[in-house]
């Protein structure tokens, strides 16, 4: 590999700096008194007041708990439902299979948030408005997860099935003892993509929730920063940092896996 010409390296760094600047600015605003929010002086005093005030003015701990509950329940259900049906699609012959799989793929394009109006009415009929279950249910079967796992299952040699059968495993036993362990990288990739998607999801949670005990972090943050709430800019910065911290920390620790997973998931 040859070295890049100097001017291109400088351009790359300028763009990177521009890309980081909103985050760097939020860090500045969150850790300095409001008087310094637009005055960048090296010696400006540092403070944790904004973080503390944001944390006490809105129930962020509760929002984080709600987001964690949402993300884990969606992920658990997705892994169960997608693994079962991917196995069915990959290894079993049944009438209507191909048509059914084509119908599953429809959800790759038409995600539940496009159908907010009808899905809201369904949730109202089921009595699930303003519940974690109502917030997660439309996502619990993921076409994307089914597709990804089916590809993986299909790539495994069929001889493994026969071996498992001779050992006395039934269909579910084979899935659990042979397929699931071999599909671990795919499951990890899917899990990371799913968790970051649902941690960040906004429109559907906004519509379906209306109380503090259910609202996830994104919705809580949007309400906190709304102009009507009259919260100061440094506090909004602090709250935004609180909201992104868990995922950014996870990302910094598992950077390689994240990038690999998004790639693995995107190339389909």
- Which residues in 91-150 contact other proteins (CB under 8 A)? 91-95, 97, 100, 103-104, 106-120, 122, 137-138, 140-141, 143, 146
Residues 220-259, interacting with other proteins (CB under 8 A): 221-222, 225, 233, 236-237, 239-240, 243-244, 247-248, 251-252, 255, 258-259
Distance between CA atoms of residues 55 and 169, nearest Å: 53
What does the buried/exposed string (b/e) look like for 168-177 if buried means 16 or more CB atoms within 10 Å of the residue's CB? ebeeeebbee
Name the minimum Å distance from CB 117 to other proteins. 5
Residue of 188, 176, 155 whose CA lies nearest to 261: 188
- Under a CB-based contact definition with an 8 Å cutoff, are residues 29 and 235 in contact? no
Name the minimum Å distance from CB 58 to other proteins. 13
Query: How long is the chain?
Result: 268
Q: Which of 68, 84, 182, 191 binds other proteins (CB under 8 A)?
A: 84
Q: Which of 8, 48, 76, 124 binds other proteins (CB under 8 A)?
A: 8
Q: Estimate to the nearest angstrom the gap between the alpha carbon of 148 and the chain centroid.
A: 16
- Under a CB-based contact definition with an 8 Å cutoff, are residues 195 and 261 in contact? no
In the shown chain, the binding pattern of residues 165 to 204 toward other proteins, with x for contact by CB under 8 A and - for none, equals: xx-x--x------------------------x--xx-xx-
Q: Which is nearer to other proteins, 48 or 259 (CB)?
A: 259
- Say which residue the tokens 């998607």 belong to: 197
Residues 40-79, interacting with other proteins (CB under 8 A): none
Backbone angles phi, psi at 237, to 5 degrees: -60, -45
Q: Which of 19, 46, 159, 211 binds other proteins (CB under 8 A)?
A: 19
Q: Which of 63, 70, 74, 88 binds other proteins (CB under 8 A)?
A: 88
Distance between CA atoms of residues 149 and 144, nearest Å: 9
């Amino acid at each position: 590999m040859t070295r890049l010409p100097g001017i291109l390296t400088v351009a790359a760094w300028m763009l990177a700096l521009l890309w980081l600047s909103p985050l760097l600015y939020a860090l500045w605003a969150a850790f300095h008194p409001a008087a310094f929010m637009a005055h960048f002086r090296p010696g400006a005093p540092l403070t944790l007041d904004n973080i503390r005030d944001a944390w006490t003015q809105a129930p962020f701990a509760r929002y984080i708990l709600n987001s964690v509950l949402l993300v884990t329940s969606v992920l658990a259900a997705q892994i169960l439902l997608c693994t079962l049906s991917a196995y069915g699609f990959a290894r079993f012959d049944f009438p209507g299979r191909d048509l059914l799989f084509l119908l599953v793929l429809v959800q790759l394009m038409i995600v539940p948030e496009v159908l907010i109006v009808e899905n809201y009415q369904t949730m109202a009929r089921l009595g699930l408005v303003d519940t974690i279950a109502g917030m997660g249910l439309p996502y619990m079967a993921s076409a994307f997860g089914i597709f990804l796992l089916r590809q993986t299952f299909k790539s495994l040699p069929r001889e493994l099935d026969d071996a498992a059968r001779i050992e006395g495993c039934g269909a579910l036993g084979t899935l659990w003892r042979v397929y699931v362990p071999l599909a671990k990288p795919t499951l990890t990739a899917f899990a990371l993509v799913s968790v970051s998607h649902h941690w960040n999801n906004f429109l559907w949670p906004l519509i379906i929730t209306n109380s503090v005990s259910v609202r996830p972090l994104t919705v809580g943050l949007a309400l906190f920063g709304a102009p009507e709430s009259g919260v100061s800019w440094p506090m909004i910065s602090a709250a935004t940092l609180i909201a992104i911290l868990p995922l950014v920390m996870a990302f910094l620790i598992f950077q390689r896996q994240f990038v690999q997973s998004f790639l693995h998931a995107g190339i389909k």
